Amino acid sequence: MKDLSLHPCFNEEMRHKQARIHLPVAPNCNIQCNYCNRKYDCCNESRPGVTSSVLEPLQAFNYFIDLKQRLDNLSVVGIAGPGDPFANPEETLSTIELISSEYPEMLLCLSSNGLNLAPYIDRITKLNVSHVTVTINSLNPETLTKIYSWVRDGNMIYKGLDAAKLLLSRQLDAIVKLKEKGMIVKVNTVVIPGVNDNDIEALAKKVSELGADTMNCIPLYPTAGTPFENFQEPSKEMMVRIKTQISKYIKPMNHCARCRADAAGLLGHDLKESTALLNEYASRPGHDTSERPYVAVATGDGLLVNLHLGEADSLYIYEQSPKGYKFIEQRLTPPNGTGDQRWVNLARTLRDCRAVLVSALGDNPRVILESCSIHVVQMTGLIDDGLEGIYEHRPIRSITRQEAMGCHGKCSSSCEGCA
């Protein structure tokens, strides 16, 4: 029997006693919040949407096992991004399945925007997920149009009031269905002065009526590269007022650490070596590569990994030899303008490659290539360093230059992905 009281995010008494980890296996998102920029990595930022690397399910499982040996007080495994778990349902559920089957005592939790959560509630119930967080920022659709740029439901893209009404209805429905399954539900709300600060009391009343257990009001973190980058953070007085208001209806959470998508350790005191460990596991293939001898590289000069995948007209192909790493050939990439089909065609072109090294790429090509068992590594630096990491299973330094993550407006602020 799991002790649900051991969750440090839901039980303040456990915040300095029990450790948690977030596994960053969900890079895609199905909404665009005007306060969110998921370009990573910045080791000095602690906020949702930030991670040093994205893991495949098997990589995440092995990383978890390693961390569990280092954290004897580890009680919780969560998935909170860097996108949304249910914009990446197979990656999310595969990861949970691996952990739940081998470590049934672990508390499992998910954090979602709620748009695509309801269809998977039966499945996560069977996997013994016990805690779910849903981020809801207002009950007022007019307010929500100021907070979200777009919402993507399947192949349909919604904006304005249509997007707001769809998202809100899905979020409220998800709370009802989660409570029907007996799950503990937390509602996260980002407090944005002048936008939704006057809506939050009514929201607290509503989600409490639906059965939510606690509510976490998070002060806006103005993030560069977002429409809200020049907004002011809410004052301490505003946050006290709002928490006092919501406490009339629901238990407020008072100890949020505004965790990264790759957080590991105690709340507010992450394990120092976790970032290096995460990057090490991200550099290891998450699938069998014995029948794929080659590695593809996005390079403009044959020396450095220095091209965005979407900008590469060709990729250099290498293999390991007794005398080092041998250049095999240069392969043309499929032409752009065909949307996701371009990445499906590229996966076919690279079917004999175990990995591809790039300076940056969008979420859609990453998911498509990884689903075809082509390990994607983002890095900058010498090609030989990347090849050594792949063939020798050694850590590859993840990208740290923010500007190299740019995708000319295609990957972070639109819903189209690289084309």
Give the pLDDT score at 20. 84
Share of the chain above pLDDT 70, in %: 84
407 burial type by CB count under 10 A (0-12 exposed, 13-18 middle, 19+ buried): buried
Plot region of 194 (φ>0 → left; ψ -120 to 50 → alpha; else → beta): left
Output the CA–CA distances (angstroms, integers) from residue 90 to 139, 247, 286, in the order listed: 30, 37, 14
Whether cis (ω within 30° of 0) applies to the bond prior to 82 is: yes
- Out of 241, 257, 280, pick the residue that ends a domain: 280
**Position 416 in a domain:** no
Q: Is the pLDDT of residue 181 over 80?
A: yes
- Out of 263, 280, 297, pick the residue that ends a domain: 280
What's the number of domains the chain is made of? 2
Do 108 and 73 have their domain in common? yes
Give the pLDDT score at 418. 44
Q: Poorest-confidence range of 134-138, 166-170, 336-340?
A: 336-340
Chain segment 281-303, per-residue pLDDT in tens: 776 666 556 688 999 999 999 99
Do 238 and 179 have their domain in common? yes
Q: Is the pLDDT of residue 250 over 80?
A: yes
Give the pLDDT score at 235. 94
Chain segment 4-56, per-residue pLDDT in tens: 677 777 767 766 678 888 899 988 889 999 988 766 444 444 456 677 778 88
Q: Please give the structure tokens belonging to residue 340.
A: 């996701």
Is 0.75 surpassed by the pTM of this model?
no
Mean pLDDT of 241-256: 89
The CATH number linked to 226 is 3.20.20.70
Do 324 and 275 have their domain in common? no
**Considering the chain, what is the average pLDDT of its residues?**
85
Domain with 215 in it = 4-280
In angstroms, rounded to a whole number, what is the distance separating the alpha carbons of residues 387 and 22?
28
- Residue 409 confidence class, pLDDT cut points 50, 70, 90: very low
Do 387 and 247 have their domain in common? no
Chain segment 42-92, per-residue pLDDT in tens: 444 445 667 777 888 888 898 889 888 888 888 889 998 888 999 999 999
pLDDT greater at residue 418 or residue 312: 312
**Position 235 in a domain:** yes
- Out of 260, 280, 300, pick the residue that ends a domain: 280
Do 261 and 319 have their domain in common? no
Do 110 and 258 have their domain in common? yes
Q: Is the pLDDT of residue 417 over 70?
A: no
